[in-house]
Chains A and B, each alone.
Chain A
Amino acid sequence: MKTPTNDNPPTPAQTVQRPAPPPLPENPIDATQTHVVAEFKHDIPLTTCRIDPTGRFVFAGAEDFHVYRWTLSGDDSSKTLFKGHQSWVRCLDFSPDGKLLFTAGYDHRIGIWNAADDAPSPIQMIDAHKGWVRWVRVSPDGKLLASCGNDNLIKLWSIPDGKIQQEFAGHDRYPYAAVFHPDGERLASFDLMGVIKDWDIETGKEVRSLEAKFMWGFDQKFRADMGGARDMRFSEDGKTLIVAGLTEVTNAFAGVHKPMVLHVDWEKFEHLHKWKDDAYKGMVWGVCEHPEGFIVASGAPQGGNKGMLWFLKPGEEKPFHSVTLSHCARGLDMTPDNRQLAVPQFDGKLCVYQMTAPHNVS
């Protein structure tokens, strides 16, 4: 009997079936090793992005009035169009199970969609505000949707029927963002003038108000106000609220100001930390808090096109790490496993970053 040797390689029919290699162990979170793992392309500037609670999809609004969905593990061929708004979509959110997508449009409407549909069309379009709808957020129990708009109102809608439940009046100027506290009993909102309000969901009453005037500026020459939150989130434990925006406005009409992240102690309702980048004129467009205790913020400059990702430790003046983006950021979101970040950009790209060392680096 002739025994096969290495001198006689097997024919294709005789190829040895090798078992698949075991998955590599996940590298630990290391923000300083943040690197690009995917890039989805669109031909129009993006306005915002969110990753769905299942971590399967990433959604982005664009200046062509539409929302687009990509499969995070896929490529550009997974791009799916959500068409229904008649203006830009500024903000997105999901039901806790990820089945419903909610969209806030500058066409004064809120859209409700099945997030995973192959050929999506809106389930409902709600005429929500007189003026732009700037923000939407779903309550932790998934029963309520909060929105805020240019009629200076915060509104609560029931899910899934989209019926109005409550109106909160009290902001004198446009509220830019509104988010539920994780306990589901309170809601925080932030307006153009840097005023933070704490609302009681059940009574619709304003409980507290805190000024963050340093996140607003009045341009004396042009007699214009500039401010507002570009992103706002509670920490998972609800102890802190982080707000993204600007500070030190010196020329509103040329966009000369500095980027700012404000950390608010929610219990004491006072400013905890204020971070700004003195060397970078521009805006913070997205912010989120990582469970390992650091904050990630994304920004766009006043001039040039070098967007930034800043990695911050609360209370520290300098970022412990930063990543230069290929263009200006328009938002930020993190995957449910807290390992990846999605950044929508002005050049139409949606970039996905992993906050670990690459697998080919030991």
Chain B
Amino acid sequence: MRREIGCNRIDHQLSRRSFVAGSAAGAAAIGGLLTPAQAEAVKSGQKRILQVFLQGGLSQFESWDPKPGTKYGGPFRAIPTSVPGIHICELMPHMAQRMHRLSIVRSLDLKTNDHRIGRLRLEKGRTAGDFPYVGAVASKYLAPENPPLPGYLHITTRGLEDNTNAFLGAQHAQLKLLGVNAPENLNRPASLNEESAQRRNEFRRLANERFAGRGGQPAFTEAFDSSFEMAQRLMKRKSLFEQEPSAKDVERYGSHPFGVRCILARELLNNGATCVKVTHHGYDTHAENFNFHLEQLDEFDKSFCMLLDDLHESGMLESTLVLIYSEFGRTPKLNQRYGRDHWGSSVSVALGGCGIVPGAVVGSTNAEGTEVAEREVSGGHLFHTYFRALGLDTMANHDIPGRPVPIGDPSASPIEELLA
């Protein structure tokens, strides 16, 4: 295990002093700098998650675990970061300047080269079985009683449908947002006035009650109820999707789809979302790995770092867990198309924010990056780490009647050295 903690302590203390998450005094101190929504988000003390999913399989060599000058290192150079001793790939220069806000795990072995299995192992923290995703668990245990937005929002243009909430209630399932477009049918039909809509909802509620009173299982109506509730919450917040991003935001984040999605993610977090997942597609580079990582990481690096800056400057980073991950990494060996193929044996992820020690590196790979050398971890270890960082006892059972289901995989444990 290697652990490098190079966080600038003065900067860290100042940050804490200025932006005390959950503290009314802290919120008041920075009130003049924040939007009302940001101030409310800081004041509320709610903890939340930002997931950035780099779909297809980010190359660890071209990102968090560069090996320049080695047999499989590829053409890119490593650059120093704001944390002495930590180097990352030159394709992430903005990230390098902010490395003291995140930490890297370089020793993830997913034991699969399959897109779906790799993704599920990271989302569920289990190697198999029907368990809820990170976002659904966050929605269940971190969201306030009457959340202003659905608990688990996923901004993407593609992505497989899955049973993301498993045995948790339907209201904790992922709600997919297609890019920055508002969900379909968000507006009440013109032929239906507000009073009629309320009467219809009341009739639906009464019918559900009657069904339950006659012995009907609540699960049959729960999914419908949660859909209506989600829709109602979104209808109240539809302005989030209707407002054009400011010219300043577009200049900072970029006008490409991922940049605009990061702006929306910020707005959703500012307005009470509990888990926001943003997917950046295009890392499955079986050909032209280097040219494509140039393009993809150029988009990711700047846009994500602007989002990280905004979370930090608003004080929300203290209460927001930030995760950057892919379903696996890419092969050390290059194929004849200058591509790298699927590789789950030595994968890197980055995380930071709420409850995470910043500026650390956990684990390592061997000299040529072909296997984990120190501190091997699994998706289960990461899952425990995420929720322990957010204050949840992952060894406890889920709050569901009838059967004890541990929140985290009992055979795994948190990465203690990452917990602040």
Complex-state Cα separation, A254 to B339, whole angstroms: 8
Residue of A nearest to B289 (CB): A253
User: Is the Cβ of B287 less than 8 Å from the Cβ of A252?
Assistant: yes
Q: How far is the CB of B58 from chain A (nearest CB, A)?
A: 13
Find out whether the CB atom of A255 lies under 8 angstroms from the CB atom of B77: no
Cα-based distance from A200 to B408 in the complex (angstroms): 66
> Is A301 close to B, CB under 8 A?
yes
- Residues 217 to 246 of chain A near chain B (Cβ within 8 Å): 221-226
- Stretch from B67-75, B114-122, B317-325 contacting the other chain: B67-75
User: Are B284 and A305 within 8 A (Cβ)?
Assistant: no
Residue total for A at the interface (Cβ-Cβ under 8 A): 31
Contacts of A224 in B (CB 8 A): 282, 292, 295-296
Within 8 A of A (CB), among B65-90: 68-69, 71, 75-77
Known: A223-B281, A224-B295. A255 touches B75 (CB 8 A): no
Interface residues as binary, B252-272 with A (CB distance below 8 Å gives 1, 0 otherwise):
000001000000000000000
**CB-CB < 8 A to B158: which residues of A?**
221
Q: Does A346 contact B (CB under 8 A)?
A: yes
Most buried by A among B75, B286, B336: B336
Which chain A residues lie closer than 8 Å to B257 at the CB level?
A: 223
Alpha-carbon distance between A131 and B285 when the two chains are bound, in angstroms:
20
User: Does A209 lie at the interface of the complex (its beta carbon under 8 Å from any beta carbon of B)?
Assistant: no
Q: If A44-B71, A87-B77 touch, does A253 touch B285 (CB 8 Å cutoff)?
A: yes
Q: Give Cα A302 to B291, complex, Å.
A: 16
Q: State the CA gap A113–B334 with chains docked (Å).
A: 29
0/1 per residue, A125-144, Cβ < 8 Å to B? 00000011000000000000
Tell me the residues in window 275-302 of chain B with beta carbons closer than 8 Å to chain A beta carbons.
Answer: 281-282, 284-288, 291-292, 294-296
Q: Given that A86-B68, A223-B282 are known contacts, is A254 also in contact with B287, CB under 8 Å in the complex?
A: yes
**A334 CB within 8 Å of chain B:** no
Q: How far is the CB of B189 from chain A (nearest CB, A)?
A: 33
Known: A44-B71, A87-B77, A222-B281. A253 touches B336 (CB 8 A): no
**A254 touching B286, Cβ below 8 Å:** yes
Known: A65-B69, A222-B282, A253-B282. A45 touches B292 (CB 8 A): no
Q: Is the CB of B284 within 8 A of A222?
A: yes
Please, how many angstroms separate the alpha-carbon atoms of A327 and B387 in the complex? 50
Residues of chain A within 8 A of B339, CB atoms compared: 253-255
B286 touches A255 (CB 8 A): yes
Cα distance A346–B339 when bound, in Å? 12
Residue of B nearest to A347 (CB): B336
**Whole-angstrom CA separation of A346 from B336 in the bound complex:** 7
Complex CA distance for A131 and B76, rounded to whole angstroms: 10
Instruction: Return B61 CB to nearest CB of chain A, in Å.
Output: 13
User: Which residues of chain B come closer than 8 Å to A132, judged between CB atoms?
Assistant: 75
Q: Is the CB–CB distance between B77 and A253 below 8 Å?
A: no
Interface CB pairs A-B, < 8 A, 27:
A44-B71, A45-B334, A63-B75, A86-B68, A86-B69, A87-B75, A88-B75, A131-B294, A132-B75, A222-B282, A222-B284, A223-B257, A223-B281, A223-B282, A224-B296, A226-B288, A252-B287, A252-B292, A253-B284, A253-B287, A254-B339, A255-B286, A255-B337, A283-B337, A300-B337, A327-B336, A328-B336
A-B CB proximity, top 4 nearest: A255-B287, A255-B337, A106-B75, A88-B75
Residues of B within 8 A of A (CB): 56, 68-69, 71, 75-77, 158, 257, 281-282, 284-288, 291-292, 294-296, 334, 336-337, 339
Beyond A252-B288, A253-B288, 9 additional pairs, beta carbon < 8 A: A87-B76, A150-B294, A222-B56, A223-B281, A224-B296, A226-B291, A253-B284, A254-B337, A283-B337
